[in-house]
Amino acid sequence: VYDSATNYLFINTEPLKITATALTAQLQGQGVLIANFGLKQGLNDYFVRVAIGTPEENQQFLRVLQALVSPSM
């Protein structure tokens, strides 16, 4: 996650071993506001931007993300 002065998180997903394309598809299907920045010039397919929402929306994002990167939990 990179520093931001906005209500978005800019995240490099490579350490999670999931592409921006795959993560975006999964999270959008769960109602999370996410943009695939892996398609932007100069970035590879490991960058997304996630909107910071209500506490409930943020918890939903974390639950879905955790389930994707730790399917055995």
> Which numeric CATH code is attached to 8-69?
3.90.1150.10
Q: Mind listing the pLDDT tens digit of every residue in the chain (73 residues)?
A: 777 777 889 999 999 999 999 999 988 888 888 999 988 999 999 999 998 889 998 998 899 888 888 865 4
pTM comes to: 0.79
**CA dist 7 → 19, 52, 53, 57 (Å):** 22, 5, 8, 13
What residue segments make up the domains of the chain, in order of their start? 8-69
Q: How far apart are CA 13 and CA 9, in angstroms?
A: 12
Q: How far apart are CA 69 and CA 15, in angstroms?
A: 10
